[in-house]
A = this chain, B = another copy of it.
């Protein structure tokens, strides 16, 4: 199996190293043979090649069994010219990685990390299913000094295929989907809601479905995070709500993601960003990256046992108090990686 690593910018290289380390540690226990290749993306690719998503990177990703991305972006590339984030968006689009899965779980024993009162947050275990290759991120843009616009557009097929992912996931969980939209104002949200309802009625009558407006959802996530099972939403709303949910569960540094495609093994990345302020200092929390590596094993390589092996090792280390400063620990990034790899071994 060939895995392409795209370390990217900021703390990206530190967390990509974490992903690689756990994959290498777990592989021999499950008869997996993994080959790694690293390529540039984002700001570092702009610096080296003048392009946030160079041809060589695109090619390597397309033929790989799975892609792991660290993070992209930083103030260094804010001054005009190509943007690091354009590389990530192009990657998602190229791979057809339309289905972004963001599990948000409160690790038992880490309740004290949440900014929420402990009784509010206890039991939180949700899966955010975010549409990732449509909506306002990819619509026509007009850039200008006097006027600018972004088009948000969705087709029924795009809504249906992401909704299928959510309903199927709900069947493996508690059987409930909460679809988030702004149907009282947006045309795309009305199409979204109609499509989701029709699909449920036709193909997933056993799954419970409700609808919450995005503004109300931003409240409910805080008021009762444990009330949710699967949350289904479009690209931009998913961006906002998944970041919000991640801090509720303790730290964005803990949250992994998988972006699935119909034609490729997919893209795996922690949901935290490049955090340039702490880059290179050993402060990055590698857990989100390691859990993303576990998702890679499960979804791209059908190696659920190996994935669970990593997840158990991470949970044990967290329960044992191992962690970086963002989760109240004192460890260096590398020490956390070493602890999890030890535990795997």
Contacts and interface: CB of A to CB of B under 8 A. Distances in A.
Give the oligomeric copy count. Answer: 2
A200 B249 CA distance: 37
Contact of A184 (B85, B151, B154): B85
Given A215-B243, A244-B244, A151 B148 contact: no
A145 B243 contact: no
A191 B141 CA distance: 12
A159 to B, nearest CB: 9
Nearest to A141: B187
A143 interface: yes
A240 B214 contact: yes
Contacts of A156: 145-147
Interface stretch (A57-65, A216-224, A296-304, A306-314): A216-224
A248 B223 CA distance: 9
Interface stretch (A20-28, A32-40, A115-123, A337-345): A115-123
Nearest to A238: B215
B85 A145 contact: no
B240 A222 contact: no
A241 B191 CA distance: 24
Contacts of A141: 186-187
B136 A146 contact: no
A280 interface: no
Interface size class of A (residues with CB under 8 A): 35 or more
B188 A149 contact: yes
A173 interface: no
Contacts of A150: 151-153, 186-188
A330 interface: no
Contact of A148 (B120, B191, B223, B240): B191
Contacts of A218: 218, 240-241, 243-244
Contact of A215 (B84, B153, B186, B240): B240
Nearest to A191: B148
Given A117-B116, A222-B247, A252-B219, A147 B151 contact: no
Interface of A: 73, 83-85, 89, 115-117, 120, 136-137, 139, 141-156, 182, 184-188, 190-191, 194, 214-216, 218-219, 222-223, 236, 239-244, 246-248, 252, 273
25 contacts: A85-B185, A115-B117, A136-B152, A143-B190, A144-B191, A145-B191, A147-B154, A147-B155, A147-B191, A148-B188, A148-B190, A148-B191, A149-B151, A149-B152, A149-B154, A150-B153, A150-B187, A151-B151, A182-B236, A214-B240, A218-B218, A218-B240, A222-B248, A223-B247, A240-B240
